[in-house]
Each structure stands twice: as structure tokens, then as C-alpha cells.
Amino acid sequence: MTAWLIKSAVIAGPGGHGVTDLLLADGTISAIGSGLSDAGAQVLDAAGLIALPGLVDLHTHLREPGREDAETVETGTRAAALGGFTAVHAMANTEPVADTAGVVEQVWRLGRAAGHCDVQPVGAVTVGLGGTRLAELGTMADSAARVRVFSDDGRCVADPLLMRRALEYVKAFDGVIAQHAQDPRLTEGAQLNEGEISGRLGLAGWPAVAEEAIIARDCLLAAHVGSALHVCHVSTAGSTEIIRWAKSKGWPVTAEVTPHHLLLTDEVAVGYDPVFKVNPPLRTAADVAELRRALADGTIDCVATDHAPHPMEAKETEWSEAAFGMTGLETALRVVQQAMVDTGLLDWPGVADRMSVRPARIGRLPGHGAPLAEGGPANLTLYDPAAPAEAVSPVGASKSRNNPFAGMPLPGRVVATFLRGTPTVLDGKLA
Amino acid sequence: MKRHLISAADLSRGDALLILDTAEELASLADRPIKKLPTLRGRTVVNLFFEDSTRTRISFEAAAKRLSADVINFSAKGSSVAKGESLKDTALTLEAMGADAVVIRHSASGAAHRLAGWVRGSVVNAGDGTHEHPTQALLDAFTIRRKLRASGGRGAGLDGIRVTIVGDVLHSRVARSNVLLLSSLGAEVTLAAPPTLLPLAVDTWPCAVSYDLDTELPKSDVVMMLRVQQERMTAAYFPSVREYSRRYGLDAARMARLPEHAIVMHPGPMNRGVEIAAEVADSARSTIVEQVANGVTTRMAVLYLLLGGTEFPEVAS
Amino acid sequence: MDATAHSVAGRDGLAVLDAEEIRRALTRIAHEILERTHGGDEVVLLGIPTRGVPLARRLAARIGEFEGLEVPCGSLDVTMHRDDLRLRPARALGRTDLPPSGVDGKTVVLVDDVLYSGRTVRAALDALTDLGRPRTVQLAVLVDRGHRELPIRADYVGKNLPTSQREVVHVLLTEVDGQDAVMISDEGRPE
């Protein structure tokens, strides 16, 4: 394996190193310091760049098996690498659903074969996402895919008894249930956040309480049985208050927020363009402000993209007919810079914590999320925060084009991504 | 530049008055031996109706034909749409046929907006889901002005006229358009409905809200009844049709409590016996039949102003 | 060319007719109408908005003074029949107000302020045809400024005013503009 000398980067992590060099050899960071010798190593001039531990996404939809028209493991992981990710958790709502060892191992193998980043499959909580019978969680945990995160994402585990059982069951193998909080009865036919905009546009509302009520219930359940709950894509101010309260009690609750919920509000729906249709929906400016604060103070543990690719015909239609979801892997770090760093709410070590350290910890993912240190795995991302703000291109590595940021100027640029010492992205392009 | 009429919010007070005054001039056409004007000769108006609505479609068809436009009717049943053709592909087909204007009625809110992005001609929203129905509001405003203003009210707005709209506001595109248009013309609008049938953020709308129809009746110059669908009962919006009728239906007793000059309106089709009693619908106060005639006139005005020149004229607000 | 400078208050341009001359011209036209229609028999005056309308009313008033005859008077808007609609944004419509006796079998005298290309009158003839069948149609104008583009001519003319096409003729009437005058200038007044 080629050794790499990364010169003059600024490491984003605890105990700031100032401008420093990193030497990557044999898959680890063999040295950190200034004026390191470049003997036998390829040199990468990282002047002005920030070195982050490789980003970890707790929530991605790679669509394979079943919906390869929208995305494949190959194209999705390319997009991930370009976004600075070295590991992604692939959600289970594929066709067939990832509710058996067979499917999760297939996804795991496809990830290894593609080689752009590590793919950690997420197992479904219930068979077929039907919400009535537990899936073989233990077998998935024991499989080659080593599943630890289980989620019916796309659907809510609405039955309180089933949710309790699932939380209890995964204690046996240090698993975590990641809930897509959406009370199905309160959101039948829902299209958009219930509020002033939905009333004006004549679209059925998705009330905040449908998310908050489930989160409250699940926090209490997790506390009652002493098991780990992770809340997917928190979208309302009320939800953050509940999570803050649960954490104050010392309960084992973690939470994630998507980049789009940190930047966009339901106002963008006014032209009825379904590129902005997503589940949970975009909310109000007050919600966005509260989500940012919660991410800054750690109430929300991490940023997870919920990258949800869809083919054009699923989005080029009337709003009510369109699919829910937005892509996000390639723009995530730039959106976080715009929403959190450039606003002074979070510094780069904070970004490293929220986009790498904590997601890896929540996902129980060894080998990722380690702060950059000598001897640690050489998973890192080099990012240029000073790159001139450029309009996001609608075309990227993802197979799908449903990108809400297309045409919007965002700062920053992912320059390089290294996976165990091998570059997957160099100079902003796939290596 | 105004190319489309998609929402009543697109119209300033000046725009709305221009449409009403134009309609006033065109109204006399119905009494002439030749009920036709050459103005839109050579223009093609397509009626793109994905939802069944014979009355509205015929109204637009009559309006276009009286202006000598060519009319093409497209209804969704038994068409390529029923076979799964997307709205976008239907729009592209119309483009290829050279439609100068497309009048669209669709069951999805926002369909008119989307169509406007795919065709070069003018889009007139004839009702999209539960969003808006601006020409209905225009013909309602025209009817109110003619009935309640001296000499038909040429040039006048609806300032100070008190309008109460009753019924399923939550699912009503007619209510949304009317609240916007009537209030921009200066009317005082009140919505009367059970809380379940009002949108959550209705307090941001330019109107008052009441849960009690009886208190509103003596202070109303216009009562506009909205159709209530029986299916709303199964979705728990109200417990029974009987209770709805008792609390919010306009029967003869309630009609008697209206001021003498007050009129009763309904966009149709009516559920006689539910939101409106038969004797009220057939009474002298009811403008329901005139609303239909006024519909042709107002739609003629809209089509003329959109298509008669290069574009809808700029009106000083 | 009879253009003489008169001091008429308030406008750029040259005044070619003042209030007194307008009054005399209308009086003459009223007499001419009576002469050529056997004393105003079955005459209906229809003014073309905007300024043709008060002119028609003034003519009707004078005929009433001279002969004690009440001539039916109304307005005929021609907007919908214009041939230049597609050149600019849609125009607001003027009033069409036919007297109760209608136009069938009548001698309709169209009244307008300025006769220029003749297209307005052509549109008026088309509009009139859709309203009924007059026995004859005649045309009275306050000013004929030449440059006809269609075979149209006026039966009654207040003043012949040869102009260049660069010039603009403004007719001001008390009912609309607060004073009576006919002005010529080089810039245009937006129509």
C-alpha cells in the first residue's frame, strides 16, 4: 500500500495540533507532527485544509437490492466518498427488506466489493417492515454483516408492545433500535408540515405532535427496560425538548438530525416542487433554529443524511403523487458548514464529533469515528472550508437527481477522503 | 408579467376590479342577437379536466367559444391518463398541439403550478385539489357586487360588505380563493365551521373565525354555503350528518334571521338537506342560478385579459 | 395648414383649435346632420369611447336645442374588434350602451374625436354589425388628420388637419380633461 504524507493540515479534534503533518502507512496514522519526512510516501499538500476523522453516516438509503433504478451500493458509496464519508449505515427498506441474514450479508458484500467506503447494513426491526412480528435480529447480529443498528425506517414501529420487545431483545448483543417516529394514524395522507403553509397550499398536514408523541413514548420505554434508543431524523423543536429531558434523566437515548432539516423550512414548498417533499417534512424557521442549538449543545448527537434517492418520474409529478425523500451524501458537510460552523454554533472539532465520533459510537462501529491520533485507523477527510461558495450542481455521483440544494450556493469542498490509508477521493474526484 | 391565473393571491385589488369591470361589459353579450366576439379568433383553449365537472367545463367552454376561440376538451376518463400517463407527458402533448391556454381541473393541490412549468401558454386553474378555484371566487365576487351595489357597482369594490362562509373550509378550494379575493376587494369575511373543519393556521388568514353560525347570521350581507361531503363523517370530522346539519345547516328558520337584503350563495353542487335546505336553495335570496350565468361572463373576462393581448395588463394598485 | 399658435393653458404643443372653435364646429356638424338626415329622422348617435361619447352627447344636446328633437344617444366600445390587440397587453374595455330603441333600421351616426388610420372606425363597423342592422351608418369626427390606411371617410368633419405621422393630435374635452382644446405635439401621449 502506498504511504501518504499529508502536509500542513489542521486537525479538527480535541487538543488542537495547529498546522501539522500526518503520515499514513499500512492503514494507520503512523505519525503526526511537523516536518515529517516524505520518504517513500506520496505527498498531498493540505495547506488550508481541515483534517476530520472519516465521516460516518448513520442513515443512508442505498436502494440495493430492489430499487437499482434509483441507486446502487456502487453509486451510493461513490457519492458517500465524495461527501467525505468513510462509512455509511444502509437502511433496511430495500426490496426484499433487509430482515434476514441473507439480505444484510448481500449488502455488506456489495459494499466491500465497491470499496469506496464501508457499508454497515441496518437490519429491519420487524419482518417486511410490517410492524407486527420481530425480525431475526439475533441472526442478523451474528451474521458476517455484524448488524447492531436495527430500524424500520420509512415506517414507524407504532405498536408500543412490539417496540418494547425490540428494545429489550437487542440488549443481548448491544444493539440499538433506531426509530422513525411518525404516528401513522395522525399522519394518514400527510404531505407537508401542518402549519400556515400547508393550510395555504391545500396540502394535508403532518403535525409535529405525530413525531413528538412517539419519541416521548419510546424514551420512556427505553428507560423502563434499560435499552438503547436512537431517534432518527429529529425535525421539531418539541422533539428536541423531549430528548433533552430524557437525557437529563440519564436515559440511554441518542438522536440524529439531517442536513436539510438544519437549513430548509416549509416555505420552500410554496412552488409545489416535490424535490422538497421529505419525511419527516421540512418544518418552520423556529424548528430549524432549535435543531441547530440542540446539535450545538449535543442534545442531538449527530448529523445523519437520510440520503433518499428517487428516480425522476417519482419526483416530476404532482406533489401528492411524488415520493418522499432527498439525496444528501455529497452536500452534507457543506450544509453543516453553512448552518453550523459559519453561524458560529459549532467549531470544526465539534463537527468531527457530530459527524464521525458519535455516529460511530452509536452505530457500535469499530475502526471508525476515532479522533485522529497516532496509531489510529487512517480514515480521514480533508476539507477546504474556504473554497468559494459554488452553486450545487444538480448532477453528482448519485444516480438520482432529487437534490434540494441544486442551484444553491454552498461553501466548502471535500478535497480528499482516505479509507484505511487508501484514498477514495483525491482533489474532489473519485480516486 | 401575469401569464397565469392559478391563485386568487395572484390578483391585486386593481387586477380583480379590472376583471369584474370587464365582466360587467361582457355581461350584455348574453342579450345580443349575436352572442359572439371575434377577439380570441385563432386561439386554442384546452379544457384539461382530470376531475369530472360538467358544469365548470361547460362554463369555460362557453366563455371561450363566445370569444371565438377554438376549444379542445380533454377529460381523464378513458384517456391516456387513465392508462397511467403522467401529468408531465399530458402537458407536453398539449404543448405540441399549440394550446394558447390550458384550463386545468385536477384532484391534486398544486397541479396547476406544476403544469405552468411545462407549458408555454397560459394556465387557468379551474380547481386543484383542496388548494384554490380562483374563477369561482371571481364569479362569486361579481355576483355579490351586482346584487348589493348600486347600478351593478362598476368600478367599485366590496368594501364593508360582510360575507360569512360556512362549511368544510379545511377541504375547500372555493373557501381559500374566496377568503383571499373577497378580502382584497375590501369585504369583511368570517368563516363559520366546526373546529375540525378549519385549518390549524386559519388565524393567519385575512378573515374572522366563528364556531357559532347563529351569531353570525344577523350581521351577514352574504352567506356562502360550502358543500359538505358525507365521507368526512367517517374520518371523524363531525359525529353525524344530522348534528352537522343542526349546527351549521342553513334552514328556513336561520334564513329568516338574515338581514332583509342579504343573499345566499352556493358554489354547487348542493347537498340539499345537509348544508342547505331545499326551500332556502329555491328562495328569492338565493343567487345559485345567477352564479352559473355569471360564471360564463367572468371566465370570458379572464380569458380575454390573459389571451386578448400580449399579456394580462399591468394595473396600478 | 391652419395651425395657428393660440395661448391655451397647461399643455405642451401647439393649440390648433380652442374652445370657441370647437363649439362652432359642433354646432355646424349638428346642423349638417339635420340637413342630411331629413331633420334627424331615425338618427341614433353612438360615441366611440373615450372622447367620442361626450361629443355625441353634445351633438344630441344641440340637435335637441335646434329642433326640439330628442335624439337617442349611446356609446359603442370597439376594443374587442380592434385589429391590433395582439401588439400589447390586453386593454380595459369601454362601455357599450345602446339606447333602448336599438340600431335596427336606424341611421347610426358614429362619433369620434380624431379620424386617422380608419382602423377604429372599421372596428366600430364590425362591432355594430354584431349588434343589429342599421339602415345606414355615417361618421362624424371633430378632427380628420389624414393618413388613412383603409377606405374609410367621414361624413361630417369639424376640422381638417393635415399632419405628419410623427405628430400627435390630442383632443381635450371638459368632460374628460377639464378643458376644451385640440393640440398638436411631437411626443406621444400614452393611449
**Per-residue confidence (pLDDT) for residue B83, from 0 to 100:** 64
The stretch B141-146 carries a mean pLDDT of 97
- Residue B232 CB burial class (10 angstroms; 0-12, 13-18, ≥19): middle
A267 reaches B (C-beta below 8 A): no
**What does the pLDDT read at residue A243?**
98
Same domain, A169 and A25: no
pLDDT of residue B224: 97
Q: Is residue B182 a contact partner of residue B148, using CB atoms and an 8 Å limit?
A: no
Q: What is the pLDDT of residue B235?
A: 81
pLDDT at position C8 = 45
Q: Find the CB nearest B204 among A196, A203, A272.
A: A196
The parent domain of residue A71 ranges over 54-362
Provide the number of structural domains found in chain A: 2
A216-255 pLDDT, tens per residue? 999 999 999 999 999 999 999 999 999 999 999 999 999 9
pLDDT mean across residues, chain B: 92
With 80 as the cut, is the pLDDT of residue B312 above it?
yes
pLDDT in tens, A356-412: 999 999 999 999 999 999 999 999 999 999 999 999 998 999 999 999 999 999 999
Q: Which of C78, C79, C87, C97 is the best mutation test for B, with the most CBs of B within 10 A?
A: C79
**B279 sits in which H/E element:** helix B278-281
Chain A closest CA to B258's CA: distance in Å?
A: 30
Establish whether chain C is in contact with chain A, requiring a minimum of 3 CB pairs below 8 angstroms. no
Which residue segments constitute the domains of chain B, with CATH numbers given? 8-133+292-307 (3.40.50.1370), 136-288 (3.40.50.1370)
**Mean pLDDT within B226-244:** 84
* Residues of chain C positioned with their CB less than 8 A from the CB of B306: 90
Cα distance between residue A23 and residue A372, in whole Å:
11
Scanning the structure block, which residue is given the C-alpha cell 431483545? A169
Domain ranges in chain C? 19-84+91-185
Region A302-324: mean pLDDT is 96
pLDDT at res. C9? 44
CATH number (domain holding residue A29):
2.30.40.10
Q: At what angle do helices B134-148 and B288-307 cross, to 10 degrees?
A: 120
In this structure, the answer to whether residues A358 and A384 fall within a common structural domain is no
Give, in order, the Cα–Cα distances in Å from C162 to each of B24, C14, C32.
39, 14, 22
Residue of C nearest to B2 (CA): C89
Q: How far apart are CA A43 and CA B7, in angstroms?
A: 60
Q: Do A202 and B132 touch (CB under 8 A)?
A: yes
What pLDDT is stored for residue B68 in this prediction? 97
What DSSP string runs through A117-136? SEEEEPBPSBGGG-SSSB--
State mean pLDDT over B29-45: 91
Lowest mean pLDDT among B25-29, B231-235, B291-295: B231-235
Q: Tell me whether residue A368 is in a domain.
A: no
What pLDDT score was predicted for residue B77?
66
The Cα of B267 is separated from the nearest Cα of chain A by a number of Å equal to 18
CB-based contact, C133 to chain B, within 8 Å: no
| Percent of chain A whose pLDDT exceeds 90 | 96
Q: Does A195 touch chain B (CB under 8 A)?
A: yes
> Hey, are the CB atoms on C130 and B32 less than 8 Å from each other?
yes
Low-confidence ranges of chain C (pLDDT < 50): 1-10, 190-191
Helices (H) and strands (E) in chain B, counts: 12, 9
All cell numbers assigned to A267: 416555505
A&B contacts, CB < 8 Å: 64
- Catalytic-labelled residue, pool A118, A152, A306, A353: A306
- Asked about A26 being catalytic, the answer comes back as no
Q: Are residues A158 and A236 in the same domain?
A: yes
**DSSP β-bridge partners for residue A330:** none
E strands within chain C? Answer: 14-17, 43-47, 73-75, 107-115, 136-144, 156-160, 168-172, 181-185
CA distance B260 to B256: 9
Cross-chain CB nearest to B176 (options A194, A202, A321): A202
Question: Is position A74 within any domain?
Answer: yes
CA angle A310, A312, A314 (to 5 degrees): 65
- Co-location of A20 and A34 in the same domain: yes
Which residue from A189, A277, A184 is spatially nearest to B170, judged by alpha carbons? A189
Name which residue leads in pLDDT, B92 or A248: A248
Which neighbouring-strand residues pair with A392?
Answer: A406
Question: From CA A305, how far away is CA A259, in angstroms rounded?
Answer: 6
Mutate one of B2, B5, B36, B39 to test the C interface: name it (highest C CB count within 10 A).
B39
Report, as residue numbers or ranges, the catalytic residues of B: 55-56, 83, 105, 133
Residue A404 lies in a domain: no
Indicate whether A338 pLDDT > 70.
yes
What's the pLDDT at A39?
85
> What residues of C are in contact with residue B34 (Cβ under 8 Å)?
130-131
> In the structure, what pLDDT confidence band is assigned to residue B2 with cuts at 50, 70 and 90?
confident
Binned at pLDDT 50, 70 and 90, residue B152 comes out as confident
Query: What's the CATH fold of domain C19-84+91-185?
Result: Rossmann fold (3.40.50)
Strand pairing report for A19-25 and A3-11: antiparallel
Please state the rounded mean pLDDT for residues A403-422.
97
Q: Please, what's the largest Cα pairwise distance for chain C?
A: 45
Write the residue in A196, A205, A318 that is nearest to B110 by C-beta: A318
- Tell whether A198 is covered by a domain: yes
Helix A101-114 and helix A73-82, axial crossing angle in degrees, nearest 10: 50
Mean pLDDT of A79-104: 98
Mean pLDDT score, B294-307: 97
The residue ranking higher by pLDDT, B155 or C73, is C73
User: Do B33 and C132 lie within an 8 Å CB cutoff?
Assistant: yes
A186's enclosing H/E stretch is: none
CB atoms B128 and A319 under 8 Å: no
pLDDT in tens, B238-283: 888 899 999 999 999 999 999 999 999 999 889 888 899 999 999 9
3-state helix, strand, coil in chain A (%, to 5): 35, 25, 45
Q: Is C131 on the interface with B (CB under 8 A)?
A: yes
**Chains B and A in direct contact, meaning 3 or more beta-carbon pairs closer than 8 angstroms:** yes
CB contact (8 A) between residue B313 and residue C90: yes
C190 lies within 8 A of chain B by CB: no
User: What are the phi and psi torsion angles at A89 (to 5°)?
Assistant: -95, 120
Range with the lowest mean pLDDT among A164-173, B75-84, B179-188?
Answer: B75-84
Q: Cβ B109–A205 below 8 Å, yes or no? A: no
Domain match, A248 and A328 both: yes
- For residue B173, what is the nearest residue in chain A, using CA coordinates? A202
Residue A201 has its nearest CB partner, among B114, B131, B204, at: B131
Residues A380 and A422 in one domain: yes
State the nearest Cα–Cα gap between A204 and chain B, in angstroms: 9
Q: With respect to residue A367, please indicate whether it lies within any of the assigned structural domains.
A: no
Neighbours of chain C (3+ CB pairs under 8 A): B
